[in-house]
Amino acid sequence: MLIQKPADLDPSEITPPELYARRREFLKTAAVLGAAALLPPSMVQAATDDLKPTPYKDVTSYNNFYEFGSGKTDPAESAGSLKIKPWTVAVEGHCEKPGQYVLEDFLASHTAEERLYRLRCVEGWSMVIPWLGIPLAKILPRFQPTASAKYVEFTTLLDPEQMPGQRTRLLPWPYIEGLRMDEAMHPLTLLATGLYGKELLNQNGAPLRLVVPWKYGFKSIKSIVKIRFTEQPPATTWNLEAPSEYGFYANVNPDVDHPRWSQKKERRIGEFFRRDTLPFNGYAEQVAGLYAGMDLRKNF
C-alpha cells in the first residue's frame, strides 16, 4: 500500500492512533501490501508476525534523543524548540552529485510507504511502530556514489540553541552514525518521515530519521542534516564514547551482553512481562547473510 506523504493528507484521512492500534487484522494486511512491491515474501512475513503496535502516546512520549536531555520524557518536553522548516541535507564524500539539498529535493518526491517495524533499544526496551518512510535504497543512487563509497555516514543537526542537550558534555556533538553500504542499500533500511500516518514529531527525530530495524535503536539516527559517502568506517558517536559497550555494527544479538546488563530479554513498552530477544531483532532470515563469515561477538 503506497500512501500519500503526510503533508498531502487531509486530517480526516488520518486514522486516529487509538483506532489504528485496535485494527490488528488490518495492520497485518496493510503491512503486507505496503511492503509487497519491494520486499520478497519472507521479508513481509518478518515484518508482520505477532506484532501489536505500541500506543501512539508511548511512541511519542518515551524517547531516547539526548540532544534534548537524557531522560526518557525530556525529548517530548523540550523538543518544541526545534525548527524543522525549512530543512536541508548536505551530501558529501565519494559521490558524483554532492551538494546542499532542501528536504523535498533530497527525497525527490518519492511517495512514503508504510512499514510496521520493531525497534529494540540497547537498554532492554522495545517498541513496534508503524513508520512512514522511503527506503534508503531509493534515495542514495541518485547521488551516484563511486566505487570508493564503502560506507555511509549520517550526522544530526548541531544547534545548541535549539537542542538544549547539546549544551552539555553528555556526548561529543554532533551525533554521528554510519552503515556499511550494503546495509544502507538493504530493502529494510528506511528513511522515516512519519509514524502512525502523521508527520514525525520533533521528539521522534523530525523531519528525517533513519530506521534500521535489525540493529539497536542508537543506530537509527534522528534529525539528519548530512550524509557522507566514505571509504573507511565512520567514527560514530557511541562507538567513540564507549567502544567496549557500543560496537559499530550494533546488530541485535541476545548472545552478546552489554557490559552492564544482559541483552537476552526485552520489555516491550506497554507490556508487563519481558520476552526473549530475537537475533537481528527478528529479521535474521532477511539480513543474516550480510554478515556471513563474520564473528558477531567480535563485530558487535
pLDDT for the residue 51: 86
Asked whether residue 176 is assigned to any structural domain, the reply reads: yes
By the 8 A CB rule, do 165 and 69 touch? yes
- Note the pLDDT of residue 284: 98
| CATH number of the domain bearing residue 89 | 3.90.420.10
Instruction: Going residue by residue through the chain, which has 300 residues, state the pLDDT in tens, using 9 for 90 and above.
Output: 333 333 333 333 334 555 455 544 434 434 433 443 444 443 443 444 568 999 999 999 999 999 999 999 999 999 999 999 999 999 999 999 999 999 999 999 899 999 999 999 999 999 999 999 999 999 999 999 999 999 999 999 999 999 999 999 999 999 999 999 999 999 999 999 999 999 999 999 999 999 999 999 999 999 999 999 999 999 999 999 999 999 999 999 999 999 999 999 999 999 999 999 999 999 999 999 999 999 999 999
DSSP symbol at 297:
T
Query: What's the confidence (pLDDT) of residue 18?
Result: 53
With respect to residue 159, please indicate whether it lies within any of the assigned structural domains: yes
Q: CA 142: distance to chain centroid?
A: 21
Residue 296 lies in a domain: no
Residue 25, classified by CB atoms within 10 Å of its CB into exposed (0-12), middle (13-18) or buried (19+), is exposed
Q: Is 86 exposed, middle or buried (0-12, 13-18, 19+ CB in 10 A)?
A: exposed
Asked whether residue 283 is domain-assigned, the answer is: yes
For residue 243, cis peptide bond before it (omega within 30 degrees of 0): no
Q: Which of 185, 181, 299 has its CA nearest to residue 249?
A: 299
Tell me whether residue 214 is in a domain.
yes
Instruction: Work out the burial of residue 157: count CB atoms within 10 Å of its CB; fewer than 13 is exposed, 13-18 middle, 19 or more buried.
Output: buried
Grid-cell match 530519521, residue found? 209
Write down the pLDDT at residue 176.
98
Q: Which amino acid is at 260?
A: R
Q: Is residue 300 in some structural domain?
A: no
Q: Where are the alpha helices (DSSP H) in 86-236?
A: 103-107, 136-139, 181-184
pTM: 0.86
Instruction: Answer yes or no: is 299 within a domain.
Output: no
Quote the number of domains for the chain. 1
pLDDT at res. 69:
97
Q: Which run of H or E residues covers position 269?
A: none
What is the DSSP code string of 162-206? T-GGGGSSSSPSSPEEEEEHHHHTSTT-EEEEEETTEEPPGGGTT
The reply to whether 297 falls in a domain is no
